[in-house]
Structure 1
């Protein structure tokens, strides 16, 4: 039997070794989920799903410290931020319950032609079928909730493959789901290698595929889906921010520092590219440098740590290589720019890296933020829009007309006005466009995607 060793990103200590599912076990899980869906007599009625979800929310709250500790230890996100993630995850379950009553059909008018006389018609929404979810490491609690709870809420069986670096949180949550009364087979966690995961993705018994991870992997897996399998893909971005001369720096700088260095920049909508008007560049640099250098890096289990480790030592090496490349191509290192250890990279600010440097043209996914000066806002917007990635963006200004004009021109799924790019609540549309993804991943959007519409037409002579 193959096994997986899970190491703490902080010090690379071994946390646990767990078994990996093989192809036969994966096929059994797929078959079981498919059989549950094919037999409507086994479907969980809505009131029962509500009861289970309510119990899940209660158990998550009761066991929150255990879940936070597990997630922090295996994922490396600081305790203070994982606490926030835990609260969001519990609210996500409650949000699913609230939205169950909003999934409904409507009357389709009949009788206004002779051919449609003596008929009435209504649509209804049914569970889509088996959901396959492939998750990422950076939010081990909330991403699992987003990729399983909507399916459970609408009555679709779901199989979840956690990230290989953070499977323990997923296993703990699925154990908790079953403790809340969810019958086996309705949510199955399957830690496995990529070959076995591809079996899940390509199965014709899977009706919906949910993926969170890199664009390269996501688009590849989409190409392997069976005919008719729908999907939602959430990839990364290289979030741009535009700062106008009238921006309120006192509130803006802390927001940008948080948005850029939260979870060591390992967030798909982290602040990455900041375009600063040349008239205030020196002031922005001075204030950002001061706040970035004061960030406390350390053990994520310490409740005052603000920046934790990167998920793997090779990611530290990669980030450093990118920074060195930018430096060689003319970028100025304002602060950071060095390894703290094999697992930590210093929070880094770069000034005016070249447009073709990797830090400017690809998603950094590390604690590095780039600043660029501009004199013409339209030129800054053009540079912000120059990449294939388009997810979330920001504009800081007190001028409503400039804000609205910038929102209109930026290529992004969401544009924040006077807030950082990583802002999110779980009921808002959230997802990338262009190379950054397909579909939207909020709780309500996912619930809608995990159902499909059926039309019923009734013919009667008395109508």
Structure 2
């Protein structure tokens, strides 16, 4: 019999078990992969108390010293790249190449925010009366509660953890129940860097610990990434007024104009529509293509997606791994059924992969001849499926792209400079990528609008989300 590893909480600088345990499963095989601590209210209390006690000294620590800790953690992450990548693929399924890239970007985030820690500047404000000086200074908010999802299990912890620690906050992280193993491996890196006890804490669990952390009175700010529905529920259940930052669902559109380089657009749609099996908040979900280039685009994307290999993410030859949850597969299946039942055409894919059962596999799927009323064209599918519809008038395409509650990212392909700037201005999204599908970079703000959340990660704006302003007005004589 295989002996499963025991994954514990990390509280106040020590690895600690919880009273209960649960077993996450490999989505490619459905085999259990670990015995994981299932935290109780007492565990949450202990973690928040540890963060509260550590905050008093951490906030006063010279920023260059905080930067040194972040650099050391970044180095530790880089040194354990393959171990961390394998943990990601084992528990949530993405290809080992994508997991490796995620770990590399995580290490970059630690080094980036180490440098930003030393660049938090205030300002002097002129007074209308002589003999006074007004200073505006930035101070850390306090203890941060971070609730993170499974689709980018390390990066989405890292963005919050790096920025909050750089700002002088302390943190309690509760990762998804589907991705506790990689989170624990990251905290081993943190432990190896000798970060002061209580500055960063990890509490694991299935369903209960998240709501407990949200409701805890000792949390000064909550940072969440996940679905719009869960984010809305969290916002309604915050017991007291406190800062929130939320990155929620996408349902991201792509517009291909009559001036587009069609092969380039096909390549972009194949990458951003099917990377991580489509389980990305900024994944391309719905595509609007000008009628003059529609047939070429559909044929090109169909061929590109049909060539993708579906399989276990540990196989380097795999292009699309399993979906992480059975519920996710069910949702994809429902969206495809709805589209086909309302007249759309599946040009490739369209079903579960029976040969890979009982894994959570769904074929990479392209659906053409869609209409706005179809679920795939106005709800986030969050799976390896894209819907395509033709348009005749660019204003119509813009209205359709803007016509949902999503406002995270949008994509445009056009070789016309006027169209590039016009679409960049008129698309109501926090991120617009033109002739590329990388909507976020580390040193620029990343965040959504409307139902896709509020607040920012990445860039100096990501760090400033963990700071609060103070006005100090000093009278020193006329």
Q: What pairs with 1:118-137 in structure 2 (closer than 5 Å)?
A: 118-137=131-150
Going from structure 1 to structure 2, the CA distance change for 1:383 and 1:144 (only over 3 Å counts) comes to same
Secondary structure, aligned partner of 1:301: coil
Partner of 1:24: 42
Moved more, 25-34 or 365-374: 25-34
Partner of 2:353: 340
Partner of 1:46: 63
Partner of 2:10: none
State the distance in 1 between where 2:422 and 2:68 align. Answer: 47
Going from structure 1 to structure 2, the CA distance change for 1:450 and 1:201 (only over 3 Å counts) comes to same
Partner of 1:414: 431
1:204, 1:229 within 8 Å by CA — same for their partners in 2?
Answer: no
Pick aligned residue for 1:444 from 447, 455, 460: 460
Going from structure 1 to structure 2, the CA distance change for 1:200 and 1:43 (only over 3 Å counts) comes to farther
State the distance in 1 between where 2:265 and 2:371 align. Answer: 25
Superposed displacement of residue 79, structure 1: 0.9
1:245, 1:280 within 8 Å by CA — same for their partners in 2?
Answer: yes
State the distance in 2 between where 1:314 and 1:96 align. Answer: 36
Partner of 1:210: 223
Whether 1:455 aligns to 2:443 is no
Going from structure 1 to structure 2, the CA distance change for 1:313 and 1:194 (only over 3 Å counts) comes to closer
Partner of 1:11: 29
Unmatched 5+ stretches in structure 2: 1-18
Whether 1:176 aligns to 2:194 is no
2:457, 2:463 within 8 Å by CA — same for their partners in 1?
Answer: no
Partner of 2:6: none
Superposed displacement of residue 247, structure 1: 1.0
Partner of 1:240: 253
Whether 1:105 aligns to 2:119 is no
Moved more, 273-282 or 349-358: 349-358
Pick aligned residue for 1:253 from 257, 266, 281: 266
1:269, 1:391 within 8 Å by CA — same for their partners in 2?
Answer: yes
Whether 1:368 aligns to 2:385 is yes
Partner of 1:435: 451
Superposed displacement of residue 457, structure 1: 2.1
How many residues align? The count is 456
Pick aligned residue for 1:144 from 157, 168, 178: 157
TM-score w.r.t. the length of structure 1 is 0.95
Cα offsets for 1:65-87 (capped at 9, x unmatched): 11111111112110111121111
Root mean square deviation, CA, Å: 1.5
Partner of 1:358: 375
2:58, 2:199 within 8 Å by CA — same for their partners in 1?
Answer: no
Partner of 1:327: 340
TM-score w.r.t. the length of structure 2 is 0.92
Pick aligned residue for 1:190 from 203, 208, 224: 203
1:261, 1:347 within 8 Å by CA — same for their partners in 2?
Answer: yes
Whether 1:403 aligns to 2:420 is yes
State the distance in 1 between where 2:49 and 2:172 align. Answer: 11
Superposed displacement of residue 41, structure 1: 7.8
State the distance in 2 between where 1:163 and 1:43 align. Answer: 32
Unmatched 5+ stretches in structure 1: none
1:239, 1:393 within 8 Å by CA — same for their partners in 2?
Answer: yes
State the distance in 2 between where 1:74 and 1:193 align. Answer: 14
Pick aligned residue for 2:322 from 281, 287, 309: 309
Cα offsets for 1:239-296 (capped at 9, x unmatched): 1111112211232211110010000000001111111111111111111111100011
State the distance in 1 between where 2:330 and 2:253 align. Answer: 24
What stretches of structure 1 move > 4 A for 4+ residues in a row? 40-43
2:289, 2:390 within 8 Å by CA — same for their partners in 1?
Answer: yes
Partner of 1:349: 366
1:80, 1:306 within 8 Å by CA — same for their partners in 2?
Answer: no
Partner of 2:401: 384
Pick aligned residue for 1:94 from 94, 111, 114: 111
Secondary structure, aligned partner of 2:160: helix
Going from structure 1 to structure 2, the CA distance change for 1:10 and 1:108 (only over 3 Å counts) comes to same
